[in-house]
Structure 1
């Protein structure tokens, strides 16, 4: 009769709870505070249709006579609008919630597109090498020579000339995702290529080749999982950059129209009213944008330090 005992393998939660990532998070109050703020802001943006008192896209709910009402702590405010109203009479709290949702959708969508293109090109360049590597890296160099603003001007001008301004407004979110995503993919490609160059000469890759696995399977099933750490770190930084790019493009009139508020278009819409005393139209969405980008960048810095093996404490 065997006395051997069987052990139950640890669950995914147990492995995560014992990981250095979770240990570092528990002992870093800045990361905890930033994570809580980020979750609150994302949740509020996603729940905007239920949390907002009005739909800023629905003109029947907007009253122009209530325009430029101040926030609740200033004389002359209205209890219906705790953060005041903008020049069109829209509730600032509602427009900020909807605007943050649009900015987050563009930020995450652009980063997903960047990652898909950049990771694929980086894997191909690093694993295949030779002419493929040279071509893709020169393509990345050419792409980096064009700024996001320049790409936006060209794409926006061509699209408006071809389909008209009304069609551009209807598809502004998709266009901004494409513009920012296509302009920033080289960041992923270069990082993934460097990781693949370090991984492709290791024993497990040689073993996969000997077993007859195809290059596609080796790249995506074996090498890619070992390059995820820098991808996650880049993604946090790129989300913040994408949100800032959207805000900058909207401020310059190349992004979201005023009828579809984003944080950038809200800042732009109230910029002309600063000298008239209606500072909250610009400063409130600007403050939300600053806090959102700040917490994402701080989380990215923390994640970079945790996933850096040279800083691992054991």
Structure 2
């Protein structure tokens, strides 16, 4: 006579979302209204930038959809407005809503890509300096000191102005987005390098690193697989603030005529293109992109402040 097979009640592992909901990060986020509003606005910006070709009423890059006769039309709430252009038009007759959506897309792309380049260079140099120490550390940190002695704007203005003068405005217009990412990214890597180096100096003498050495792991695996994951918290905070700084740098360079061309507007180039019309009554060409830029930078800085407080137990007050 066979006995019934007992079924073992094996607990199922909770999902990644369930584990995340139990973390201190999620708990503090749901209790901080400023962080929730800031994150919601950032998601709104990101979605608007990502789906700009679908949301925008017109394509500001298509000359066929632009009529110079529609130039400097006011927003819909002012007298003389055209219902087809909710936020008015710029001096070239482009719909302001469409140009701001595309401009936000370019500004965010430059900011995020420049920060990714900063992080890659900073992490690589900071890990090497902190782990190997000695002459390697001294050489790399002196490079960082030299880089920090020059402001980002000064380096960017010199490099972009020389490139534009040497290769012409037409080639520069084609490569402007890549040049901005490259210049802003290279100019700001010491922020990451110094932070990563300090974290590596604190981590490399701990037991888990000694255990990895005893097991015969190479320096590259120890640095990237064991030490680096324990330095990610400060990098996340820096990245949030640095995206805002990169967007401001791009907007400043575009305002000076060294950023994105007028044919491919970013928020900075939109502000620059309308600055000469602000006193003639067409204030919306500069003011509206300016408001969008200010809110975007404010949201990024507020998220960075919140992350700094949450990920640092000494600062977080609950």
TM norm structure 1? 0.97
Q: Which residue of 2 aligns with 1:222?
A: 226
Give the CA deviation at 1:218: 0.2
Q: 1:171 is paired with a residue of what secondary structure?
A: helix
**Match status 1:306 vs 2:300:** no
* Number of aligned residues: 314
Q: Which residue of 2 aligns with 1:32?
A: 36
Give the CA deviation at 1:8: 2.4
**Match status 1:106 vs 2:110:** yes
Give the CA deviation at 1:4: 7.5
Aligned partners of 1:61 and 1:2: how far apart in 2? Answer: 73
Q: Which residue of 2 aligns with 1:188?
A: 192
Q: Which residue of 1 aligns with 2:132?
A: 128
Q: Which residue of 1 aligns with 2:270?
A: 266
Aligned partners of 1:135 and 1:36: how far apart in 2? Answer: 43
Aligned partners of 1:249 and 1:158: how far apart in 2? Answer: 14
Aligned partners of 1:213 and 1:307: how far apart in 2? Answer: 30
CA shift digits 1:162-199 (9 cap, x unpaired): 42211110010010000100000000000010001100
Give the CA deviation at 1:9: 2.5
Q: Which residue of 2 aligns with 1:149?
A: 153
**Match status 1:292 vs 2:301:** no
RMSD (CA atoms)? 1.6
CA shift digits 1:277-305 (9 cap, x unpaired): 11000000000000000011101111111
Aligned partners of 1:34 and 1:128: how far apart in 2? Answer: 40
**Match status 1:57 vs 2:61:** yes
Q: Is the 8 A contact 2:111 2:181 kept in 1?
A: yes
**Match status 1:211 vs 2:215:** yes
Q: Is the 8 A contact 2:161 2:258 kept in 1?
A: no
**Match status 1:96 vs 2:96:** no
Q: 1:76 is paired with a residue of what secondary structure?
A: coil
Q: Which residue of 2 aligns with 1:75?
A: 79
For structure 2, the residue ranges without an aligned partner over 5 or more in a row are: none
Give the one of 162, 166, 170 matched to 2:170: 166
CA shift digits 1:203-235 (9 cap, x unpaired): 000100111100000000000000000000000
CA shift digits 1:126-151 (9 cap, x unpaired): 11100110111100111111122222
CA shift digits 1:226-280 (9 cap, x unpaired): 0000000000000000000000000011111111100000000000001101100
Give the CA deviation at 1:7: 2.8
Give the CA deviation at 1:53: 1.3
Q: Is the 8 A contact 2:122 2:190 kept in 1?
A: yes
Q: Is the 8 A contact 2:87 2:96 kept in 1?
A: yes
Aligned partners of 1:7 and 1:176: how far apart in 2? Answer: 52
The alpha-carbon distance between structure 1 residues 261 and 4, as it changes in their structure 2 partners (threshold 3 A), is same
For structure 1, the residue ranges without an aligned partner over 5 or more in a row are: none
Give the CA deviation at 1:55: 1.0
Give the one of 3, 14, 17 matched to 1:13: 17
Following TM superposition, the consecutive aligned residue runs of length 4 or more in structure 1 with deviations greater than 3 angstroms are: 1-6, 311-314
